[in-house]
Chain A
Amino acid sequence: MTSYLIRRIFQMALVILLAAVFVYFLFNISPGGPLAGIQQQQRRITREDLARLRTQYELDLYWPVRFSRWLVGVPQGPIVLAGRELLENTPVGCYMPVYEAESSGLQPKIVGCDDYVYMSELPELHPPVRSSNGILRGDFGLSTVISRSRPVSDLLKSRIGPTVQLMSISLLLSLLLGVPIGIYSAVKQYSKFDYFFTTVSFIGSAMPTFFFALLLILLFSVFPVFLVDTIPWVPRLPPGLRESVRSYEVATWLPTVQPGSAFDQFLHLLMPVGVLTFFNMAPWSRFVRSSMLEVMRQDYVRTARAKGLYERVVILKHALRNALIPFVTIVVLALPGLFAGAIITETVFAWPGMGRLYYDALQRSDWNVALAFIFITALLTVIATLIGDILYTIVDPRIKFS
Chain B
Amino acid sequence: MTATARTIGPSSRAEDATQESQVRVVFRRFRRHRLAVISAILLLVIFGASLLAPVITTFPRDAIDVSSPERPAPPGTVSRDGRMHLLGVDHLGRDLFTRVLYAARVSLTIAFLVVLISETFGSLLGAVAGFYGGRVDMILSRINEFMLTIPQLPILLIISAILLKRDVVLPMPGFVSRLLSALLLAPEREAQKVVVLVLILVLFGWLSAFRLMRGMALTLSKQDFVEALRAAGSSDARIIFRHIVPNGIAPILVSASLNLGAVIVLESALSFLGLGVQDPTPTWGNMLDFARSYMFKHPWLPLVPGIPLVIVSMGFNFIGDGLRDALDPRLKR
Which residues of A are in contact with B by a Cβ distance under 8 Å?
15, 18-19, 23, 26-27, 30-33, 36, 106, 202-203, 205-211, 214-215, 217-218, 221-223, 225-226, 239, 290, 336, 340, 343-344, 347-348, 358-359, 362-363, 365, 370, 373-374, 377-378, 381-382, 385
A15-B146, A359-B273 given; A206·B166 CB < 8 A: no
Complex contact B317–A206 (CB within 8 A)? yes
- Asked whether A373 lies within 8 Å of B154 as measured between CB atoms, the reply is yes
Please, which residues of chain A bring their CB within 8 A of the CB of B309?
208, 211
> Across the two chains, which residue of chain B brings its CB closest to A222?
B299
* Pairwise interchain contact A210-B288, C-beta atoms closer than 8 A: yes
For A223, the chain B residues whose CB sits under 8 A away are 299
A189 to B161, CA, bound (A): 46
A381 & B272 in contact (Cβ 8 Å cutoff): no
> In the complex, what residue of chain B is closest to A293 when comparing beta carbons?
B333
* Alpha-carbon distance between A361 and B56 when the two chains are bound, in angstroms: 42
The answer on a CB contact under 8 Å between A343 and B153 is: yes
* 6 A/B residue pairs, CB under 8 Å, sorted by A: A208-B309, A211-B310, A239-B296, A343-B154, A365-B161, A378-B150
| Chain A nearest CB, measured from B310 CB (Å) | 6
* Complex contact B151–A365 (CB within 8 A): no
> Can you name the residue of chain A whose Cβ is closest to the Cβ of B165?
A365
Contact residues in B for A33 (Cβ distance below 8 Å): 166
| Contact status B158-A15, CB under 8 Å | no
Asked if B333 contacts A290 (CB within 8 A), the reply is yes
Give Cα distance in the complex from A295 to B208, angstroms. Answer: 26
Residue of A nearest to B306 (CB): A211
Give the chain A neighbours of B157 by CB distance below 8 A: 343, 358-359, 362
CB-CB nearest in chain B for A211: B306
Q: A32-B166, A206-B313 are in contact. Are A340 and B288 (CB under 8 A)?
A: no
Most chain B beta-carbon neighbours within 10 Å: one of A32, A106, A290: A32
Known pairs A203-B314, A206-B310, A223-B299; list 14 more (Cβ under 8 Å).
A15-B146, A26-B159, A32-B165, A206-B261, A206-B314, A209-B269, A214-B291, A218-B302, A222-B295, A374-B151, A378-B150, A378-B151, A381-B149, A385-B149
Contact A208 B167 (CB under 8 A): no
Select A210's contact among B150, B159, B163, B269, beta carbons within 8 Å.
Answer: B269
Whether B167 pairs with A32 at a CB distance below 8 angstroms is yes
A36:B150 contact, CB within 8 angstroms? no
Report which of A19, A202, A358 forms a contact with B150, defined as CB distance below 8 A. Answer: A19
Chain B stretch 148-202: residues in CB contact (< 8 A) with chain A? 149-151, 153-155, 157-159, 161-163, 165-168
A19-B150, A210-B272, A226-B299 are known contacts. Are A215 and B166 too (CB-CB below 8 A)?
A: no
> When the two chains form the complex, which single residue of A217, A344, A347, A382 contacts B149, counting CB atoms closer than 8 Å?
A382
Q: Is the CB of A217 within 8 A of B295?
A: yes
Question: Among the listed A23, A32, A106, which residue makes an inter-chain contact with B155, where contact means beta carbons less than 8 Å apart?
Answer: A23
The binding surface of chain A is classed by DSSP as helix
Which residues of chain B come closer than 8 Å to A239, judged between CB atoms?
296
Cβ of A29 to closest chain B Cβ, rounded Å: 10
Q: Is B209 an interface residue (CB 8 A)?
A: no
Smallest CB–CB gap between B208 and chain A, Å? 14
Q: Are B149 and A15 in contact (CB under 8 A)?
A: yes
A218 pairs with B299, CB closer than 8 A: yes
Q: Which residue of A lies closest to B267 (CB)?
A: A208
Query: Is B292 touching A214 in the complex (CB atoms < 8 A)?
Result: yes
Question: Judging by beta carbons under 8 Å apart, are B146 and A362 in contact?
Answer: no
Contacts of B221 in A (CB 8 A): none
- Across chains A and B, which 10 residue pairs bring their CB atoms closest together, nearest first? A32-B166, A362-B161, A206-B317, A206-B314, A27-B162, A208-B265, A222-B299, A211-B306, A206-B313, A214-B302
Q: Which residues of B contact A211 (CB under 8 A)?
A: 288, 302, 306, 309-310
- Smallest CB gap from B292: residue in A: A214
Q: Would A214 and B295 be within 8 Å (CB), given that A15-B146, A340-B154 are in contact?
A: yes
Chain B: CB-nearest residue to A371? B158
CB-defined contacts of A377 to chain B, threshold 8 Å: 151, 154
Rounded to whole Å, the gap between the CB of A378 and the closest CB of chain B is 5
Give the distance to chain B from A223, nearest Cβ to Cβ, in Å.
6
When distances are taken between beta carbons in the complex, the residues of chain A under 8 Å from B166 are 30-33, 36, 106
Determine the chain B residues whose CB is within 8 A of the CB of A373 once the complex forms.
154
Bound complex: CA of A231 vs CA of B315, how far in Å? 36
Q: How far is the CA of A373 from the CA of B291 in the complex (A)?
A: 29
Output the nearest chain B residue to A226 by Cβ-Cβ distance.
Answer: B299
A-facing mask of B294-333, CB < 8 A → 1, else 0?
A: 0110010011001001100110110000000000000001
